[in-house]
Amino acid sequence: MEMTGAQIFVKYLEDEGVEHIWGYPGGAVLPIYDALDTDAQKLNHILVRHEQAAVHAADGYARSTGKPGVVLVTSGPGATNAVTGIATAYMDSIPMVCITGQVPTALIGLDAFQEIDTVGITRPIVKHNFLVKDVSELAITLKKAFHLATTGRPGPVVVDIPKDVQNAKSTYEYPQEVEMRSYLPVTKGHSGQIKKAVELMLSAKRPILYTGGGVVLGDASEELTQLARKLGYPITNTLMGLGSYPADDKQFVGMLGMHGTYEANLSMHHSDVIIAIGARFDDRVTGNLEKFCPDAKIIHVDIDPASISKNVIVDVPIVGPVKQVLTEMLSILDKTEQKPDEKALAEWWEQIEQWRSTNCLRYDTLGAKIKPQAAVEALWEVTNGDAYVASDVGQHQMYAAQYYRFNKPRRWLNSGGLGTMGFGLPAAMGAQMAHPDATVVCVTGEGSIQMNIQELSTCMQYGLPVKVVCLNNGFLGMVRQWQEFFYERRYSMSYMDSLPDFVKLAEAYGHVGMRIEDPKRLKEQLADAFSDKYKDRFVFIDIITDQQENVYPMIPAGAGLNEMILV
């Protein structure tokens, strides 16, 4: 049967199993919006209030489910507004397909109304992108887009569809298979290398597992947990890897890096074998590369060969999916005679426990102001540590990472790579849409929340019972912290003057607003916000926190992992 491009698009998404699509209409996608009205049977479109939020919401959906997020925006400003969201997904390797409308093919290149070179603008921030010039190519191009977004190292793919292609007719059949000669992601790690890695890890005297977002993306949390338990080695997670290993487990030494724990960073620094899995030796993790882990031999498992030996030269590289590689490592461990060096390991743990005893995450609990750390700890208690937590970017993000102990993967949704303020609320919307009955929290600050505050309206329209926990210190806290440390306390433009009354603002949108100011009432009021009373309501919880509090521990830029500022 002949269908229009717009109808093919809708049918294809349904055949692909897409449940939700986040978007915003405009001139160049009107045919698709019409087809959504006439043809969509299962596909649910969510109307956001800004295209950036559409992308972050799809991203939050993807992070919390593992399925690709899907976005639909118009040409020109629709596409450029989406760019920050696409770049955010790209930096964190999130599977996503973003469909952009384009001016009719006959007008491309003529500076038409709302024309922009979307393929050109998004090229550096996508895994791949397409401009569909012929309606007969539409279905297969969409298939390729989903294939690319979800396999290998995942990432966003943009498909730009001119308006005349949406109107043109063609026959449609769901393409079951797609083959791309230039794209063959690795499906299996090299067995010889895996064997070598296991030998090296068993010979270690001061080993550490350093694991990242790749374990979450590769759904390998279970295998990782088994491996760590089998070996009995300490394990640290990157910011992106939190939840891939239970934070409450005693082998877990906390997050590493710039705001990582003392014990995690020192264990890395003094280790003799690092087992890096799905992590990429980011500058926020390694600190000064010249001082990085001087004695360590490094095993690195990653699906992307370009991540290996990019920043740090490794000794045993393994390119492959972490799940498969870990499974093979486990089976070798089952068979081998070689065992971990128990005596050395006991001494190593003794050392680590000594580092751990500094209790580097302690903070003053006696002040008259609410400490942001206390707010996150209270949040953990009232949500039983089992919420989906989206965050924005800044001090509150680090507090959430440090004090909300994630025990499950896909619970922690944050913009680790790009560090996008404004990510939290829409990401929480996406997670809530995917898990309607779950507790979904957006931990944010009064700066970040204002970067996508308009989404309070979307939350009302779709009845999304997200809970916003706003750590409001009246400062762009992380900027203020750096200005305090490195710019002689010249707080240039970091003070947030003329803040709105967030309680009234929430109420104006039809939501529930609360303010918490008294440390003594923190837990009680927070528990109320998360009680069954507000189970179906969006609640904005404005917590007035200590303005002067800083995120510790901290590794200053240029320093090594062993050169931390503790308090």
Partner 1 sequence: MKHVISMLMENESGALSRVAGLFSARGYNIHALTVAPTEDESLSRLTLVTSGTDQQIEQIVKHLNRLIDVVKVLDLTEGSHIERELMLIKLSATGEMREEFKRLADIFRGDIVDVTSTTYTIQMVGESKKLDAFIQTIDAGLILETVRSGTVGVMRGEKCLHL
Residues that bind partner 1 (CB under 8 A): 119-120, 123-124, 127-128, 131, 148, 180-183, 304-306, 309-310, 313
Name which of 556, 559, 557, 553 is nearest 356 in CA terms: 553
Residue 242 beta carbon to partner 1: minimum distance, rounded to whole angstroms: 27
Task: Specify the residue, 261 or 307, whose C-beta has the smaller distance to partner 1.
Answer: 307
Clarify whether 263 is annotated catalytic.
Answer: no
Task: Specify the residue, 123 or 229, whose C-beta has the smaller distance to partner 1.
Answer: 123
In the chain, what is the greatest distance between 2 CA atoms, to the nearest angstrom? 74
User: Catalytic pick from 201, 255, 478, 564?
Assistant: 478
* DSSP run (H or E) holding 286: helix 283-286
The answer, yes or no, to whether the previous bond of 246 is cis (omega within 30 of 0) is: no
User: Catalytic pick from 14, 114, 193, 485?
Assistant: 114
Amino acid letter, 178: V
Task: Specify the residue, 123 or 230, whose C-beta has the smaller distance to partner 1.
Answer: 123
**Alpha-carbon radius of gyration of the chain:** 24
Task: Specify the residue, 37 or 134, whose C-beta has the smaller distance to partner 1.
Answer: 134
User: Catalytic pick from 163, 297, 323, 467?
Assistant: 163
* DSSP run (H or E) holding 98: strand 96-102
Clarify whether 258 is annotated catalytic.
Answer: no
Residue 182 beta carbon to partner 1: minimum distance, rounded to whole angstroms: 4
**Exposed/middle/buried for residue 529 (C-beta within 10 Å: 0-12, 13-18, 19+):** buried
Clarify whether 137 is annotated catalytic.
Answer: no
DSSP class of 92? T
Residue 89 beta carbon to partner 1: minimum distance, rounded to whole angstroms: 17
Residue 274 beta carbon to partner 1: minimum distance, rounded to whole angstroms: 19
Residue 8 beta carbon to partner 1: minimum distance, rounded to whole angstroms: 22
426: which 2 tokens?
């829409």
A 10 A CB-CB count for 262 gives: 21
Task: Specify the residue, 305 or 463, whose C-beta has the smaller distance to partner 1.
Answer: 305
Give the residue carrying structure tokens 């509090």.
549
Task: Specify the residue, 108 or 344, whose C-beta has the smaller distance to partner 1.
Answer: 108
Contact 89, 59 (CB under 8 A): yes
DSSP class of 400? H
Residue 148 beta carbon to partner 1: minimum distance, rounded to whole angstroms: 7
Phi/psi for 489 (5° steps) reads 60, 25
Clarify whether 113 is annotated catalytic.
Answer: yes
Name which of 429, 431, 481, 476 is nearest 452 in CA terms: 429
* Strand residues in 105-238 grouped as ranges (E): 128-131, 156-162, 169-171, 207-211, 235-237
A 10 A CB-CB count for 32 gives: 28
Contact 98, 82 (CB under 8 A): yes
108: which 2 tokens?
């491309």
Residues 6+ apart with CB under 8 A from 412: 242, 243, 389, 391, 400, 401, 404, 406
* DSSP run (H or E) holding 318: strand 316-319
* Strand residues in 163-287 grouped as ranges (E): 169-171, 207-211, 235-237, 252-255, 273-277
**Exposed/middle/buried for residue 1 (C-beta within 10 Å: 0-12, 13-18, 19+):** exposed
Task: Kindly give the residue spans of alpha helices, DSSP state H, lying in 422-490.
Answer: 424-434, 456-461, 477-486
CA distance 68 to 423: 17
Clarify whether 51 is annotated catalytic.
Answer: yes
Task: Specify the residue, 294 or 305, whose C-beta has the smaller distance to partner 1.
Answer: 305
Name which of 59, 91, 150 is nearest 428 in CA terms: 59
Amino acid letter, 260: G
User: Catalytic pick from 16, 51, 446, 549?
Assistant: 51
Residue 192 beta carbon to partner 1: minimum distance, rounded to whole angstroms: 20
Q: Read out DSSP for 55-83?
A: HHHHHHHHHHHSSPEEEEE-STHHHHHHH
* DSSP run (H or E) holding 96: strand 96-102
Residue 283 beta carbon to partner 1: minimum distance, rounded to whole angstroms: 15
Contact 507, 456 (CB under 8 A): no
Q: Which are the catalytic amino acids?
A: 51, 113-114, 163, 478
